[in-house]
Amino acid sequence: MKNCFVSMMLMGLLVGSCTQQPEGLNFRVQETYAARVDSVLEMMTLEEKIGQMNQYTSDFQVTGPSKNDSTKLEQIRKGRVGSMLNVKGAAETRRYQQEAMKSRLRIPLLFGLDVIHGMRTVYPIPLAEAASFNLELMERTASSAAKEAASEGIHWTFAPMVDITRDARWGRVMEGAGEDTWYGCKVAEARVRGFQGKSLADTTTILACAKHFAAYGACIGGRDYNTVDVSRLTLHEVYLPPFYAALKAGVATFMNAFNEVDGIPATGNTYLLRKVLKADWKFDGFVVSDWNSVGEMVNHGWVNNLRQAASKGVLAGCDMDMESRAYTSHLEELVKSGVVDEAYIDDAVRRILLKKFELGLFDDPFRYCSEQRQKNTVLSPELKQVAREAGASSIVLLKNENRILPLNNPVRICVIGALADSQEDMLGSWAIEGIREEVVTVLAGIKSRFKNSQVTYAEGYDLNTNKLDLEGVRRAAAPADMVVVGVGERAYQSGEARSMAHIDIPASQQLLVQELKKMGKKVVVLVMGGRPLVFNELEPYADAILMTWWLGTEAGNAIADVLSGDYNPSGKLPMTFPATVGQVPIYYNYKNTGRPCQSGFMTYTCGYLDQDFRPAYPFGYGLSYTQFEISAPVPTKSVYQRGEKIDCKVRVKNIGKYKGKETVQLYIRDLVASVTRPVKELRGFKQIELEPGEQQEVVFTLDEKDLGFYNQNLEFVTEPGDFELMVGNSSDNVRKCMISYEN
């Protein structure tokens, strides 16, 4: 009853002030908290309401262009601040919360932080974890990160980043789940479940935040913050689904993107925020802007000044202003002058208050501030074990010539490369609470695991200049029968505002590998980075190549677990690795076009004159120390009626000599449809572990929506017709069968 009263109130307000209720303003607080939220709202002055929509960073850490402002504590005491970011630690968050308790209504602050891949215990970067294709593990690292963050007073993480991207030049590819929309949806769900758990009232769970809404990963040229220009159809088909998946998983908040969509900045984009998110999807959480993105609508040339930015942002559905001060500076006057109806303020504040109630902060504003819990939780052995397991599971074996891996009790190993002894780089970007001295390097991990071997080390190249020291390498490597070389980019070369026009591994490092091979050594190359990288020059000289990304606190132990065979590598690439940056954007689920690409150089086809169009390594690729045989898929029948489940079976056999895990992938192709469809689309994967000689049947089940897509009218449809079903261990290594789907 109360709810419809609130809605009627809202409706009444709006009907009184405008002809029809704007979309996305039909928000209703669920029964449990409706009365409590509204009882607080009714006591609030307009100034206090606007205060809840205002978020500042602490000054000891900033994650964007910051403003000097010594009045933040005073504003908190006056109820002019609803949330702080970059405040961390039980003691520090308590200090700020105590200031909020001096305000008239004592509304608790919300503490947000970028807990992207761990807090003090740092897990592999999200792109690396996506390579594990282990959704349970990703949920576990998120819940482990939430537990540690909550113990440090954090209520809210600005994660998961669910931006799909097909452009390895973009620095923020390291934060996401790669290029595939369907898989991105699964990862989004897993991470939201991990962060938020079963109840936000649990002091080991925190609010999650689906970001950056929307299509940030489509920035032209891979240049961060750049213009996004995609069709409505591509927006709905490729970029929006992981956000919807996060919403269906219960994500508490969204963060809008910096970029424009359809010529309108996402921060003020009514179509995205009011229509799609709040009206169509019925989102009941709140939207926080990205850092200063409200104010940056002036730079976009879409508004004249900060006042107009405040008006456009709140009307569009951006509920909380991170750091721009547009809302706290202008909303009160905008409401009093009738430009903005107070119903929009009430809508935003209800959403924000609801989350504070759900966290239990009104019952106890200090319930997350326990130094004892912090001491017991941070960097615990359990959390480090999760990091180590996640690290090993994220490693992708790209090459293993003559099966030189795993290293069976090698006598003499030489570890080479400054990256192999760099604690700082193992953390990767967005590891803002990680402490480099707590990181296990590759060198330390190998020394610890191969205690009975002679392990020597040579820096090989200067970490900053990449200048080679071949003499030093020759001396150190001379007695070794196995060299393990760490090469790649630096951790600071990926992440926010870290886009790269070139994605080749430094030439000197590639030359180093060539020299080592010429010395007659067995060469294992560890490629490290936060994005797909190009390393064609070293590839022929490497006996084995592992993509080890940035694996966090336990990096060295995880890598040693794989090198030793304690963990048989099972990772698969979540993003295509180009043969050259000139191919970017490059992705596996491309359209066939009217003149399809053929391997080799055929004129009048959709290829290049100077480069084979195929990537160096495709989506879904990854080897094991053992080998698996996967049979052709067999559907239970060849014709299915609408609504029928579609089953297809394969047999998987371990024909090698090691126990191992295979990620069997299912792709579909809709051969003819009302809009063109990709040559293949991932629609399922199963990870199975088999002993040598063991075989197992794997059944994939598809339903109507798995065959569906957005049509010209932006309706999600499944059309009758013929489909290929493809099953294999990589997007470029599949066996097919055909089915027909009828109305």
Tell me the closest approach of the beta carbon of residue 64 to ligand GLC, in angstroms: 4
Q: How many CB atoms lie within 10 A of CB 601?
A: 13
| Residue whose CB is less far from ligand GLC, 182 or 286 | 286
Tell me the closest approach of the beta carbon of residue 290 to ligand GLC, in angstroms: 5
Strand partners, 623: 397
Contact between 63 and ligand GLC (CB under 6 A)?
A: yes
Token pair 């891979």: residue: 222
Tell me the closest approach of the beta carbon of residue 321 to ligand GLC, in angstroms: 13
| Residue whose CB is less far from ligand GLC, 290 or 321 | 290
Query: What span, in angstroms and rounded, lies between the C-alpha atoms of 319 and 338?
Result: 19
Q: How many CB atoms lie within 10 A of CB 471?
A: 9
| Residue whose CB is less far from ligand GLC, 7 or 63 | 63
Considering only CA atoms, which of 93, 722, 12 is closest in space to residue 366? 93
Could you tell me the CA-to-CA distances from 42 to 337, 355, 486, 691 in Å, in that order?
21, 17, 61, 65
Contact between 296 and ligand GLC (CB under 6 A)?
A: no
57 near 114, Cβ under 8 Å?
no
Contact between 158 and ligand GLC (CB under 6 A)?
A: yes
Q: Indicate which single residue of 156, 244, 291, 541 sits in contact with ligand GLC (rule: CB under 6 A).
A: 291
Residues with Cβ within 8 Å of 561's Cβ and at least 6 positions away in sequence, in order, are 388, 391, 392, 449, 567
Query: What span, in angstroms and rounded, lies between the C-alpha atoms of 172 and 114?
Result: 14
Give, as ranges, the residues between 451 and 480 that touch ligand GLC (CB under 6 A).
Answer: none
Q: How many CB atoms lie within 10 A of CB 46?
A: 14
Q: Indicate which single residue of 23, 46, 64, 733 sits in contact with ligand GLC (rule: CB under 6 A).
A: 64
| Residue whose CB is less far from ligand GLC, 66 or 508 | 66
| Residue whose CB is less far from ligand GLC, 322 or 690 | 322
| Residue whose CB is less far from ligand GLC, 170 or 291 | 291
| Residue whose CB is less far from ligand GLC, 431 or 698 | 431
Tell me the closest approach of the beta carbon of residue 545 to ligand GLC, in angstroms: 31
Per the residue annotation, which of 38, 290, 561, 670 is the catalytic one? Answer: 290
Considering only CA atoms, which of 539, 534, 569, 536 is closest in space to residue 551? 569
289 near 321, Cβ under 8 Å?
yes
Q: Indicate which single residue of 260, 290, 332, 681 sits in contact with ligand GLC (rule: CB under 6 A).
A: 290
In terms of Cβ atoms closer than 10 Å to its own Cβ (0-12, 13-18, 19+), residue 533 is buried
Query: What span, in angstroms and rounded, lies between the C-alpha atoms of 703 and 534?
Result: 38
| Residue whose CB is less far from ligand GLC, 216 or 368 | 216
Tell me the closest approach of the beta carbon of residue 384 to ligand GLC, in angstroms: 25
Give, as ranges, the residues between 526 and 565 that touch ligand GLC (CB under 6 A).
Answer: none
H-helix segments, 681-733: none
Give, as ranges, the residues between 74 and 103 that touch ligand GLC (CB under 6 A).
Answer: 85
Tell me the closest approach of the beta carbon of residue 366 to ligand GLC, in angstroms: 24
Is residue 192 classed as helix, strand or coil in its secondary structure?
helix
- Catalytic residue list contains 290: yes
DSSP notation for 435-449 = -GGG---HHHHHHHH
Tell me the closest approach of the beta carbon of residue 207 to ligand GLC, in angstroms: 13
Tell me the closest approach of the beta carbon of residue 211 to ligand GLC, in angstroms: 6
First and final C-alpha spacing in the chain: 43
Cis peptide preceding 160, ω within 30 of 0: yes
In terms of Cβ atoms closer than 10 Å to its own Cβ (0-12, 13-18, 19+), residue 230 is middle
Give, as ranges, the residues between 493 and 522 that touch ligand GLC (CB under 6 A).
Answer: 496
Q: Which helix (H) or strand (E) holds 541?
A: none
Tell me the closest approach of the beta carbon of residue 253 to ligand GLC, in angstroms: 11
- Phi, psi for 669 (deg, rounded to 5): -140, 125
Tell me the closest approach of the beta carbon of residue 496 to ligand GLC, in angstroms: 5
737 near 648, Cβ under 8 Å?
yes
| Residue whose CB is less far from ligand GLC, 215 or 482 | 215
DSSP notation for 568-619 = ------SS-B-SSGGG-S--SS-B--SS---SS--TTSSS-SSS-SS-SB-T
76 near 103, Cβ under 8 Å?
yes
Give, as ranges, the residues between 209 and 268 that touch ligand GLC (CB under 6 A).
Answer: 211
Tell me the closest approach of the beta carbon of residue 429 to ligand GLC, in angstroms: 11
591 near 545, Cβ under 8 Å?
no
| Residue whose CB is less far from ligand GLC, 324 or 730 | 324
Sign of CA dihedral 344, 350, 355, 356: positive
| Residue whose CB is less far from ligand GLC, 85 or 444 | 85
Q: Mask of contacts with ligand GLC, 109-138, x by CB under 6 A? A: -----x------------------------
Q: Which helix (H) or strand (E) holds 645?
A: none
How many chain residues interact with ligand GLC (CB under 6 A)?
A: 9
**Residues with a known catalytic role:** 290
Q: Provide the binding-site residues for ligand GLC, judged by CB under 6 A.
A: 63-64, 85, 114, 158, 211, 290-291, 496
